[in-house]
Amino acid sequence: MSQKREIGFIRNGYHADTHSGEDSEKLPLQHQQPVRLQPSWEESNLPEDELNFRNLTMEEASLQLHAPVDKYRLVYLTFILHGIGVLMPWNMFITAENYFVKHKFGKEYTGENLVYGTSYLQFVGFAAQVPNLIFNWLNVFVQMGGNLTTRIIWSISVEVVIIILTIALAMTDTHEWPGTFFWVTMVSVVVLNMANGVYQNTIFGMAAKLPLKYTGAVVLGSNISGTFTSVVRIFSDTFTSSVRMAAVYYFISALFVLLLCFDTYFALPLNRYYRHHELKEQQEARTRKMESMGAVEKIPYFYIFKKCLPQLINIFLVFFVTLSIFPAVQASVQPNDPDFFLGTKYFTSVTCFLTFNMCAMIGSYLTTFCTRPSAKYLWIPVALRLLYIPFFLLSNYQLGENRVRALPVLITNDWVYWFTAVTMGLTSGYLSALGMMYTPRSVEPRYAATAGMFAAAALITGIFSGVMVSFIWPWFIEHVGI
């Protein structure tokens, strides 16, 4: 009888407090004092992390105790791929400039001189960045479309549909209805970037939960995206018979990348390293909920914004300077020397698109090895980049037919122009990556995801403002002299 009772106590996590088997038999049941087994989940003196294991499976507990490594850097490479996907819609439309300007809106194709062609980059920039701006900021405060999976699935799906429509329009004869084609294209760009605003913001929020370099991976991927489309442009210009077929290759490339992003997103939860950080965040959320007695914690948006503001300004200024010059101004800069080795055919493709995108990619990758200046002094090189604006406006920027520069061309050496273009690309990639990496670290870890979303919104705000300012430069150069 005593043996059965003792086993019962042990099964329930206790052992009878006895001096001998005989004494224990004589003690009444209510006076037998239980002793806790060590270790015990109920032990109030145990660390908080151990107490949290009560809600975990054995595999989840193992992930908490033994932090896995990012084997083969699969998670890092996945975020690079999503960084490529984030900017593919934008790069697709600006890289296909010749297709729209010289073919779809060109005089030879339509028989008319259309304003759509001469100001295409400004129009597409406006149509792309307004919805991107709105939805990026809304996505900070409102969980649009539910959880992360729902938001990413729907945003990528919408982008895929729009790209398929764009390919179909490229294969359609539109010379009799250029106005309709223009507005269909602009509406497509608006819808595409509404979806992309949610996608981009969500990806930066996801990366902010991981170590610092994973936010840098998204920025690196964004710059690889531009390099990829620039290389596709050069090969397409060389080996295709028409700008229309070259554009089709751009669009198909974007479609392929987005489908890869769709697939790899579902592979992330299968990775032990990613699951470790997801579990870590979930445990922190549960702890905060217990500390607040079950109440839902309100995100202090103003507090987060105030703490991140210096880095948000840095991010804004980097992209403002870059987008006020690239691609609207740089794409219209012509060589001063007609015998320059690139010639007029490849001058823009190489010195503008390929140079900027490749150098921005290299610049963002350099943050893997160096993170200087520190967050406190990042504003200094960011502010100095404002000098790029007058430099490129004083280069051989041509306004198009029937428009004459009042502002003189002072940068007459093509090598000097190209070298400066290289430095602009490098600083754009490097400084923007630093700003994006520093922002989530400006606040407590539990607010890192929201800070990452603020950073993405500041990025888009800088792009939008730069694109808007680029509308002013043609008028400024035509009417303002020195």
Strand partners, 333: 397
Q: What is the pLDDT of residue 359?
A: 92
In this predicted model, which residue has the larger pLDDT, 337 or 278?
337
Task: Evaluate whether residue 4 is within a structural domain.
Answer: no
Average pLDDT over residues 84-107: 83
Closest CA to 201 of 157, 140, 120: 140
Q: Give 136-145 pLDDT, tens digit per residue.
A: 788 787 765 4
Task: Evaluate whether residue 283 is within a structural domain.
Answer: yes
- Indicate the residue among 250, 273, 297 that finishes a domain: 297
Q: What is the pLDDT of residue 144?
A: 53
Strand partners, 34: 16
Tell me whether the omega of the peptide bond preceding residue 269 falls within 30 degrees of 0, making it cis.
no
Task: Evaluate whether residue 192 is within a structural domain.
Answer: yes
Closest CA to 417 of 398, 395, 393: 395
Cβ contacts of residue 239 below 8 Å, gap of 6+?
none
CA dist 470 and 472 (Å) reads: 5
Q: What is the pLDDT of residue 73?
A: 87
What is the maximum alpha-carbon separation in the chain?
112
Same domain, 289 and 305: no
Q: What is the pLDDT of residue 312?
A: 96
Q: Read out DSSP for 260-325? A: HHHHHHHHGGG-HHHHHHHHHHHHHHHHHHHHTTTPPPPP-HHHHHHHHHHHHHHHHHHHHHHHHH
Same domain, 208 and 83: yes
Range from 59-68, 103-112, 120-129, 306-315 that averages highest in pLDDT: 306-315
* Distance (Å) of CA 159 to CA 96, 251, 259: 17, 11, 10
Q: What is the pLDDT of residue 121?
A: 75
Closest CA to 236 of 324, 160, 170, 177: 170
Cβ(450)–Cβ(304) under 8 Å?
yes
Q: Give 240-261 pLDDT, tens digit per residue.
A: 778 888 888 888 888 999 999 9
CA dist 318 and 204 (Å) reads: 17
Task: Evaluate whether residue 35 is within a structural domain.
Answer: no
Same domain, 126 and 191: yes
Same domain, 79 and 171: yes
Cβ(322)–Cβ(466) under 8 Å?
yes
The percent of residues above 90 in pLDDT, for the chain, comes to: 28
Same domain, 339 and 234: no
For the record, the structure tokens of 332 come out as 């219209």
Q: What is the pLDDT of residue 298?
A: 80
Same domain, 261 and 328: no
Same domain, 280 and 417: no
Identify the helix (H) or strand (E) that includes residue 462. helix 448-470
The CA-based angle 6-12-14, given to 5 degrees, is: 60
The percent of residues above 70 in pLDDT, for the chain, comes to: 80
Instruction: Please tell me the least confidently modeled range out of 140-144, 303-307, 332-336.
Output: 140-144
Q: Give 25-74 pLDDT, tens digit per residue.
A: 444 544 445 444 344 333 344 444 444 445 555 555 555 556 678 888 88
Task: Evaluate whether residue 404 is within a structural domain.
Answer: yes
Fill in the DSSP letter of residue 55: G
Same domain, 139 and 255: yes
Q: What is the pLDDT of residue 417?
A: 95
Q: Residue 456 pLDDT > 50, yes or no?
A: yes
- Indicate the residue among 297, 330, 362 that finishes a domain: 297
In this predicted model, which residue has the larger pLDDT, 382 or 268?
382
* Distance (Å) of CA 193 to CA 127, 141, 156, 197, 454: 8, 18, 11, 6, 18
Average pLDDT over residues 468-479: 87
CA dist 38 and 42 (Å) reads: 10
Q: How do strand 34-36 and strand 14-16 relate by DSSP bridges?
A: antiparallel
Same domain, 330 and 281: no
Domain that holds residue 461: 299-481
Same domain, 383 and 238: no
Range from 19-33, 174-188, 327-341, 410-424 that averages highest in pLDDT: 410-424
CA dist 126 and 65 (Å) reads: 50
Q: Give 147-194 pLDDT, tens digit per residue.
A: 677 788 889 999 999 999 999 999 998 888 888 999 999 999 889 888
Strand partners, 36: 14
Q: Give 373-382 pLDDT, tens digit per residue.
A: 999 999 999 9
Q: What is the pLDDT of residue 373?
A: 93
Task: Evaluate whether residue 231 is within a structural domain.
Answer: yes
CA dist 409 and 395 (Å) reads: 5
Task: Evaluate whether residue 314 is within a structural domain.
Answer: yes
Same domain, 134 and 206: yes
Instruction: Please tell me the least confidently modeled range out of 89-98, 279-288, 416-425, 469-478.
Output: 279-288
**Helices 414-438 and 355-366, interaxial angle, to 10°?**
40
CA dist 384 and 98 (Å) reads: 33
- Indicate the residue among 236, 264, 297 that finishes a domain: 297
Q: What is the pLDDT of residue 328?
A: 83
Domain count, the chain: 2
Cβ contacts of residue 38 below 8 Å, gap of 6+?
none
Instruction: Please tell me the least confidently modeled range out of 27-41, 128-142, 400-414, 455-469.
Output: 27-41
Burial class (CB in 10 A: 0-12, 13-18, 19+), 430: buried
Band of pLDDT at residue 458, cut at 50, 70 and 90: very high
Mean pLDDT of all residues belonging to the chain:
80
State the CATH number of the domain containing residue 180: 1.20.1250.20
Q: What is the pLDDT of residue 292?
A: 61
Same domain, 376 and 441: yes
Task: Evaluate whether residue 37 is within a structural domain.
Answer: no
Average pLDDT over residues 11-31: 45
